[in-house]
Amino acid sequence: MARTLYEKLWDEHVVASPDGEPTLLYIDLHLVHEVTSPQAFDGLRLNGRSVRRPDRTLATADHNVPTDPISTPVLDPISKRQLEALEENCQEFGITVFPRGHENQGIVHVIGPELGVTQPGMTIVCGDSHTSTHGAFGSLAFGIGTSEVEHVLATQTLPQQRAKTMAVTVNGRPPTGVSAKDIVLAIVAKLGTGGGAGYVIEYRGEAIEQLSMEGRMTVCNMSIEAGARAGLVAVDETTIEYLRGRAGVPSGNEFEELADRWRGYVSDPDAEFDAELVLDASQVVPYLTWGTNPAQVVALSGVVPSPDDFDDLDQREAVSRSLAYMDLTPGTPMREIPVDVVFLGSCTNSRIEDLRAGAHVARGHHVAANVRALVVPGSHRVKRQAEEEGLDQVFLDAGFEWREPGCSMCLGMNPDQLKAGQRSASTSNRNFEGRQGRGGRTHLVSPAVAVATALLGRFASPDEVNA
């Protein structure tokens, strides 16, 4: 019987499926960070339990690390305590950990792929909803809560209900200037914040196939913004070439044998999905969000919507609330809205390709007066590579801050925060109220639009920079 990729991944990881109980699924890789793990480790200690497979567990500091130079201390005592707790817990339970400043440290969803420990056919979990990122490699990857973190630490398994499958097919090629971020914003806008709930999404079609691994990660990353716990892309030669030579994979014949097995992680041609959404890539344009949830999307060339544009009474109320919080007037062209802060970073858009796209726009220009612009590479490896390519100097010359890696202003757990009333153009994934700092107003954009916006001081596309 023809199976979807999700069904193949599921079937391969069933440990037990007892009657009347959820299926017990094996977890191949458990990624851990400082924020959602301390209470789980406490739980283990309390019950005298150990970590079943430290060799399938990898930890890094990312969520609350300051992005100031590594030589400066962590000033927030609560953050400091949490970072120390991660190191102590990993030491006690025998888990490899990358603390702040370590050469392999970075955002958990950036380091897994770049170290080659994220591999096709795996089940991967992490106490973070953007774990969906790793699905770009044809692996089943999803976010879990702290109780489940403890469960995986203790048993290397999770009781799971099988999800429904949804194909999101993006046909054709996008116009020049349209990035993976624009494609996923278009998808989230179509599905809404709940449209993917209960589903695992497989992204497919020419527009997805022609994306780099970085682009596919950007798309899978935001699956959760449409309510889906996991996103998938089938394995192809792009996947295999990305992984070749990375630390976590073997070399030579052993790699070729592994790659042959990986090529099977695709949906069968006649496999059936429970739902499908079809998009035409040629109709995708540069987008940004205007409101307080990631489905509130508008074209960069568009205007702030009005509550009257919506039929549903509840939706009109929600739109009015969002407009009030965002301090926006319906009908205002998006391109006329000034910003205070620009953030290029996060697990959505902080990889080398994102930094290259941003630097390409920034080269030879300068950040507008009164705009603070931050570039936060996703990891030390990304940062080092960018520096080898001279991208740091391009950003510094253009007036951007070049910072140390971490989650940073995506969620404002470290000192990189918006002040109340400030408006940001951000390459991150969530524009929730207060997400980047209490009272802050977030607009989600692609790296190229973020940088163009920083240079012109208002929402702008790269082609306006040289005009």
Instruction: Pick the closer one to other proteins by CB: 28 or 353.
Output: 28
Question: What pairing do the DSSP bridges indicate for beta strands 157-160 and 23-26?
Answer: antiparallel
Instruction: Pick the closer one to other proteins by CB: 125 or 334.
Output: 125
Residue 73: C-alpha distances to residues 81, 112, 402 (Å): 12, 26, 18
Q: Which residue has the tokens 């699956």?
A: 223
CB of 182 to other proteins, least distance (A): 21
Distance CA(407)–CA(422), nearest Å, equals 19
Instruction: Pick the closer one to other proteins by CB: 91 or 282.
Output: 91
Distance CA(316)–CA(10), nearest Å, equals 40
CB of 154 to other proteins, least distance (A): 5
Distance CA(342)–CA(361), nearest Å, equals 14
Instruction: Indicate if the alpha-carbon torsion angle 393, 395, 396, 401 is positive or negative.
Output: negative
What kind and span of H or E run contains 416? Answer: none
Instruction: Pick the closer one to other proteins by CB: 146 or 422.
Output: 146
What is the maximal distance between C-alpha atoms in the chain? 66
Q: Is-contact 328 359, C-beta < 8 A?
A: no
CB of 366 to other proteins, least distance (A): 32
Q: What angle do CA 120, 126, 130 make, to 5 degrees?
A: 80
Instruction: Pick the closer one to other proteins by CB: 26 or 190.
Output: 26
Distance CA(146)–CA(125), nearest Å, equals 11
CB of 433 to other proteins, least distance (A): 6
Q: Is-contact 126 32, C-beta < 8 A?
A: yes
Distance CA(341)–CA(319), nearest Å, equals 24
Instruction: Pick the closer one to other proteins by CB: 226 or 300.
Output: 226
SS3 204: strand
Q: What one-character DSSP code corresponds to residue 393?
A: H
Token pair, residue 210, equals 């022609």
Distance CA(58)–CA(230), nearest Å, equals 20
CB of 309 to other proteins, least distance (A): 17
Q: Which residue has the tokens 């709930």?
A: 197
Helix/strand number for the chain, H first, E second? 16, 19
Distance CA(446)–CA(135), nearest Å, equals 20
Q: Is-contact 379 107, C-beta < 8 A?
A: yes
CB of 60 to other proteins, least distance (A): 9
Instruction: Pick the closer one to other proteins by CB: 159 or 302.
Output: 159
Instruction: Pick the closer one to other proteins by CB: 55 or 276.
Output: 55
CB of 111 to other proteins, least distance (A): 11
Instruction: Pick the closer one to other proteins by CB: 76 or 206.
Output: 76
Instruction: Pick the closer one to other proteins by CB: 270 or 312.
Output: 312
